[in-house]
Amino acid sequence: MLDYETLRVLWWLLLGLVLIGFAVMDGFDLGVAILLPWVARDDTERRIVINSIGPVWDGNQVWLILGGGAAFAAWPPLYATAFSGFYVALFLVLAALILRPVGFDFRNKVDDVRWRRVWDTALFTAGFVPTLVFGVAFGNLLQGVPFHFDDELRVTYTGDFLLHLLNPFALLTGLLSLAMLIMHGAVYLIIKTEGAIEARARRALAFGAPLTAVLFSVCGLWIAFGIDGYVVVEGAARDAASNPLAKAVVREPGAWLANYRGQPWMLIAPALGYVGAAGAYLLVRAGRPGLAFVGSAASVFGIVSTAGLSMFPFLMPSSTDPRSSLTVWDSSSSQLTLFIMLIASVVVLPIVASYTVFVYRVLRGKITSHDIAERGPSLY
């Protein structure tokens, strides 16, 4: 069996991988749903947009489910603290996510303008709300969240459940999340559609890609000069039993940049955020939308990794009782669980990736108004 410290780092990477998997894979269909009201003007166009993601969004969303499952299995205190602390916000996300499957499946089942408008709104909401809230959640993690543990490790969240979370910095990260997925979704639509929808998606990209870069920069400056990071000053051994209370933590200005000073190679992550966004924009102009998708995916990868790397080893810092903060070294599952789950992930994820590629290959090609007319009733 691998040693406990290594397993904890690997599981930090794996949780990051799964969350980025969610942001990249479900990200583009959330982005497409956000773009739905702007890129499609009539029922046929809306159906083209919806069917461009119709067969694949469900598989993509499993990355989110797996993210929850991975947090539960590998980082139980993180799962318990984040989910109970963000109670109201998560139920809003949940309500939005519940609208997705039914929105896709039910919309075309009744031929009525009002009925379809209801589900169009539902699909837009189901893209917009989770994208915003997950961005806001990252903004709050970076600032620290008000919670503490008692000595039985029962967690209590002491902030209010919604208004506190919607602070200016968190709203900024929420906007970044929206811009990022608008960019990513726009590239996907450029690949999957033609004509007027594609032209509008190009305009959305010309708006989303630069906006992503600008908001990412503002977030970076704010973190550098406006937000105190967290530092573990005295911790238990990195292979000790998980108990967040066995350490001391202080807040320091600029601490979230310390990792980049110590390990300059980590700057690849923010660089990728910019290069990917620029690449997405330029490659679409150069007539290479497939490669542009790799670019926007790389940008998403870079931006999410930047947040994770800045905080390492913190997963969820506590603003009111810093020693209760959850770190990679004190909030994991047991060594045995991490090891078994690592093996399972290493075996299964490549299989998942390969059949996912197969499905996308089968479904390749643009969705057109001809498809809607020809295969209408069997589509969404």
d(CA 295, CA 247): 41
Closest CA to 174 of 229, 135, 228: 135
Asked if 2 touches other proteins (CB under 8 A), the answer is: no
Residue whose token pair is 């459940």 = 161
Q: Which is nearer to other proteins, 117 or 355 (CB)?
A: 355
Q: Which is nearer to other proteins, 296 or 333 (CB)?
A: 333
Characterise 151 by phi-psi region: left (phi > 0), alpha (psi -120 to 50), beta (else). Answer: alpha
DSSP category for residue 234: E
Nearest approach, Cβ of residue 345 and other proteins (Å): 7
Give, as ranges, the residues between 149 and 188 that touch other proteins (CB under 8 A). Answer: 151-157, 161
Give, as ranges, the residues between 11 and 50 that touch other proteins (CB under 8 A). Answer: none
Give, as ranges, the residues between 245 and 274 that touch other proteins (CB under 8 A). Answer: none
Closest CA to 123 of 26, 22, 33: 33
Q: Which is nearer to other proteins, 72 or 207 (CB)?
A: 72
Q: Which stretch binds other proteins (CB under 8 A): 166-174, 178-186, 191-199, 338-346?
A: 338-346
Asked if 1 touches other proteins (CB under 8 A), the answer is: no
d(CA 216, CA 307): 11
d(CA 146, CA 70): 24
| Binds other proteins by CB under 8 A, chosen from 243, 259, 368, 369 | 243
Nearest approach, Cβ of residue 377 and other proteins (Å): 5
Q: Which is nearer to other proteins, 99 or 189 (CB)?
A: 99
- Residues facing 232 on adjacent strands: 249
Concatenated DSSP letters of 315-348 = EE-BSSSGGG-EETTTSS--HHHHHHHHHHHHHH
| Binds other proteins by CB under 8 A, chosen from 66, 123, 133, 181 | 66
Give, as ranges, the residues between 273 and 332 that touch other proteins (CB under 8 A). Answer: none
Size of residue set near other proteins by CB under 8 A: 75
Nearest approach, Cβ of residue 128 and other proteins (Å): 17
